[in-house]
Structure 1
Amino acid sequence: MEMQISTPLDQSVRDLVAGQRVLLSGVVYVARDQAHRRIFEDLDAGRMPFPLEGQVIYYAGPSPTPPGRVIGSMGPTTSGRMDPFTVRLLQMGLKGMIGKGRRSREVLDAMVSFGAVYLGATGGAAALLSRSVVSSEVIAYPELGPEAVLRIEVLRMPLVVIADSKGNDLYDSGPREARAMVAGLGG
């Protein structure tokens, strides 16, 4: 059974558990590699292109928007590339990240310290994920094209909690549980 959650995220994010399915609704900011570099330049200059408190960043770069659609296909990119930027953003109030792939120990530890969650979007399901988007607008760095920062509103976007605020990481527990299951079957 999926749990419905909405942005901005609050302390209830600490109740989410690795492996749990969620349906996310609300405002989400889309930013990947180049946007993170620019965000850090702005932070060093005392600016921030969007609020961070309780917010979620989706690591994605949408394809061109087809006629009659709100946004093009929008699959997750590898989250580890944003790890050098993530701890500072968590310190500033970021509560959720959406992407794919492992996160560094430093990021996982910071998620525990600051009460944040890492949500996984299914790679290869970009067209399906984009159907959850009800509005989209470029809010920063339009010159970056598909890597510009977007403010999107999503409705019931299907995600999985990959790493929770208690230190549980599905990339560690999942394989361990699978091995135990196979061993229990005599394999």
Structure 2
Amino acid sequence: MAQIKIDVPFQDIDTIKSLRPGDRVLLSGSIYTARDAAHKRMEEQLKRNENLPFDLQNQVIYYVGPTPAKPGEIIGSAGPTTSSRMDKYTPLLLEKGLKGMIGKGYRSQTVIDSIANNCAVYFAAIGGSGALLARRIKSVEVIAYEDLGTEAIRKLELIDFPCMVINDSEGRDWYKESQEAFKKSSSKT
């Protein structure tokens, strides 16, 4: 199966619409990190009609709290965190222009519906491989909420960061589809 190379932030909606559940993707470009505490602050800022620390338009957020960098490295282990913890904040961010998220695990039906309604995409990165994923991060800059430590918002520059499409812009779900396909193939044997 071929891997699709994509530059982020997204340059056009057609790229997002072309992605299907199960597609293997290599992301290159600028993304931002944010976990629970940062999402809560962003929600609070939006509710006060304040600007966020970065422009959400066509952007991707990676749900990660990287470990401290070892000497000579720019970032420590950078594996994905459980995405469902951000579900209560995600629809608002999607409405404000966010187009992609990277994490691990299932999303709620409310989030899947919001992904479809806002023509966005949810990618999964492989949990447990944070040290390997960190090798695809070429620069790191803390841009907001430094007091949150590992949960501060960081701008990352990626080169061929591997992930997989889980939920596409049509609301399809790779987890559900692959489980159904497995059940069908199992029942034939």
Deviations 1:85-134 (A, max 9, x none): 10011011100000011111111111111100000000011011111000
The match for 1:26 is: 29
CA distance in 1, matches of 2:45, 2:140: 22
Q: Say yes or no: does 1:67 pair with 2:71.
A: yes
Q: Which amino acid aligns with 1:41?
A: E
Q: How far off is 1:70 after superposition?
A: 1.5
Instruction: Map 1:170-185 to 2 at 5 A.
Output: 170-184=174-188
Match for 1:14: what amino acid? K
Question: Residue 47 of structure 1: CA displacement?
Answer: 2.0
2:160 partner amino acid: R
Are 1:8 and 2:24 counterparts? no
Runs of 4 or more above 3 Å deviation: none
Match of 2:94 among 90, 93, 97: 90
2-structure distance, mates of 1:90, 1:47: 15
Give the drift of 1:179.
Answer: 1.4
Distance in 1 separating the partners of 2:117 and 2:42: 22
CA RMSD, Structure 1 to Structure 2 (Å): 0.8
Q: State the one-letter code of the partner of 1:112.
A: A
TM-score relative to the length of structure 1: 0.97
| Residue in structure 2 matched with residue 41 of structure 1 by the alignment | 44
Q: 1:130-156 CA distances to partner (integer Å, 9 max, x unpaired)? A: 110000010000000000000001000
For 1:91 and 1:13, the matched residues in 2 are separated by 16
| AA aligned opposite 2:158 | V
**In 1: Cα distance, 2:35 partner to 2:186 partner:** 37
Indicate the SS of the match to 1:97. Answer: strand
TM-score by length of 2: 0.96
List per-residue Cα deviations over 1:11-44 (Å, max 9, x = no partner): 0211100000000001010000001011112222
Give, in whole Å, the separation in 2 of the partners of 1:180 and 1:74.
36
Aligned-residue sequence identity (percent) comes to: 48
1:151-174 Cα deviation digits (max 9, x unpaired):
001000000001101111012111
Q: Secondary structure at the match of 1:84?
A: coil
Give the whole-Å Cα distance in 2 for the aligned partners of 1:166 and 1:47: 29
1:136 paired with 2:140, answer yes
1:183: how far off? 2.0
Question: How far does residue 64 in structure 1 lie from its aligned partner after superposition?
Answer: 0.7
CA deviation map 1:36-60 (0-9, x unaligned)? 0111122223221100000000001
